[in-house]
Structure 1
Amino acid sequence: MAFDVNHIREQFPILKREVSGNPLVYLDNAATTQKPQAVIDAIVEFYTQCNSNVHRGAHQLSDEATRRYEEAREVVAAFINAPAKEEVIWTSGTTEGINIVAKGMAQQLQAGDEVLVTEMEHHANLVTWQQACKLSGATLKVVPIHDTGELNEQAFTELLSERTRILSMPHVSNALGTINPIQSLTAQAKAKGALVLIDGAQGVAHGDVDVQAIGCDFYAFSGHKLFGPTGIGVLWGRKEVLENWPVWLTGGEMIETVTYQDATWGALPNRLEAGTPNIAGAIGMAAAIKWFQALDVDAVKAHEQALLDYALELAKDIPGMRIVGNAPKKIGILSFVIEGAHPADIGFLLDRQGVAIRTGDHCAQPLMKRLGVPGTARASFSIYNTFEDVEALFKGLKKASMMLA
């Protein structure tokens, strides 16, 4: 199937706008992706046609809202090849999903136990486990990376032991774009009896995610990085694990029985979904997944790789520019520094030319310290970006470099 980027761009209304008098060149996709009209329409249609709370409503609007909400759960389950839809837990995003696992794990860990993370963690998957270890007395172990941004697999093997209770790591680094070999690392961790949580925030929008093939116990991701709305995400977990997992929040929806003295929890997925959910978000996320699944995934991957390859070629012509993170397997993230130019200044000058990137530590301060930089400028590509977008980025960088020299 031919990949028609112009046809895809036409489905994203925001890409038609201008910034500072220039056509928008949106290259901040690792932070959040833009939304196609199909997703916008699904959210508007919910609010204008069947807005109501879900479950137990004794009227037609509630029945319709409940049906769409639960159908969205089925869409997600099929998308990640989950064995059962009850394993799909709605969250506010990847961060909440990680917290559900970490807070529950903190109640099971004890002194002598170990938690394994990596040097490339987003703060959501580092600070959360730091706190779990402080509460439980467990020890946090950090798997180092090579200078290229690849995980040191030999060090991983050496750090993994019978004391490892859980491995929690990113599918893809948000700061570097490195794709981790999660299937093989998961198999090694499972062989030691450890649980495995994959932070899928950056991995889910760049190809097939099959939780059964990965072999992990948990996989967390966000809708807004998958062309869906903000404020909605998913924690997938194996049913036999989730059925006995300590509850995260208590309140309505998640209970089975309540007295003034005690309460019991309901069955999955309700037991981990307290309170009124983000119904429109779930429906919008399902619409995003359906839209994404209609594309040729191999063509999408090839297009994003071509954009990255072109950017790496053009980078050779920018004096003093250094790419941070050169793993052989990576998604379309170009993290870089330019000698004598602060990343924040680069971002500001690019914005004045209509080019949107991200600057700073990308919620990965320890990783930046490991790499010897205070932060980077980061351009991240998605399916609606073009070679012209890449050219606009480097035209802007040349101008910024001259102004900052």
Structure 2
Amino acid sequence: MPPQPPSSTPAHSENSARRPQPLGRDFTLLWGASGSASLADGLVRVALPLVAVELTRSPALVAGVAVTTTLAWIVVGLPAGALGDRLNRRTIALSAALLRTVLLGAVGLLLFTDQLTVGMLFAAAFLLGVGEAFFDTSTPAMVPGLVPKEELSRAHGRRHAVAMAGNELVGPAAGGTLFALSKVAPLLVSTACHALSALMLWRMRAAPDRPREPEAERTALFTEVRQGLVLLVRSRRIAVIALWGGMANFAGSLTFAVLALHLVAPGPVGLDTWGFGLLMASLGLGGLIGALLAGRLAARVGELRLLTLSCALMAADSVALALTTQIWVIAVGLVVGSAAAAVFGVMAITALQRATPDSHLSRVSAGNQLVMMSGTALGGIAAGVLGEATGDLRVGFAVAAVLLLALTSMRAAIPAAPTGGLDPDRVR
């Protein structure tokens, strides 16, 4: 199915209940490829720091392995988005999957033969982050061209659910278990997952190429990156949605960056590490449920209303943490907040894509992701500063709750859906 111009799509803010339409074979393959890649990412999230501990006892170097992957995304995310709008997105995602397959296979082989060094691990972590950036900017932008426009929120809900299941639930738990059996095992399983992701992408019908500019008229890559950022800022609807997501991430990070200090003994809640792990698993389960229900809720409530409602409910965990140390109250708040955060994420990407021309989808997605990651990073820094300055982590939790409740007013700043859309040729 050819891509539909998001600018001519109704806002779907007042949808009534209707019978869902099939999402199609190609979306199913894309969904499977995303799920397999997310499972591999969840495994690697646990495995790489454990491998680093095998190679060095330096806390800075061990922490640096995880930071390097994020740094790679920040460095190449925007150019990756520009290339996603210039080239075939399926080809880019397939290439990224193959790159990560080869990298993880090589790291596993070097580790098995005791040839792996810390420098090699850092290089692999950076290249894995590069592959993740290209995969994560290309695959979401493929969705509007694969599913009926009325099913966009349901499709993104499924993508978000399978990503959360792999990244937050199954992957980390399996990664720790596999590493206990063999330090190479999680890397080999991750290699197989990325290979399966590549196979599913290869089996998709090749997406039709978008019309290309004549070679003489094609702009430089840096100019195309700038055009994506200009659209992200100039379109008020897109800018407000991106800012809303970034601020929500900032507020969420105010809570989650220091959550372990508050919950695990000698923190005031007094959980042991097993109890903390169980609580985190239930939090992931809440997010999975929220992502699966997002599409159905949007069809009944409306996407913008659901954004507002989920933003308010995201404050539940921060309120519970600020007011009590009763574990059952905190657990309920965390599960509700996690489910609401998943719904918010699905609605935000859906609303963003409805307002973005297909020719700019990858670039705007990359810019939006950069805003989200920046919000998370700044929120974590603010949580640490508030905790050090006040000596009471509940201050940060209270600030997060107030900010999330205040962010419900962001809906009023979103203009009505455009009827004509923004001409990409004017974004220069």
Per the normalisation by structure 2, the TM-score is 0.28
Looking at secondary structure, tell me which structure has more strand per residue. 1
Looking at secondary structure, tell me which structure has more helix per residue. 2
Per the normalisation by structure 1, the TM-score is 0.29
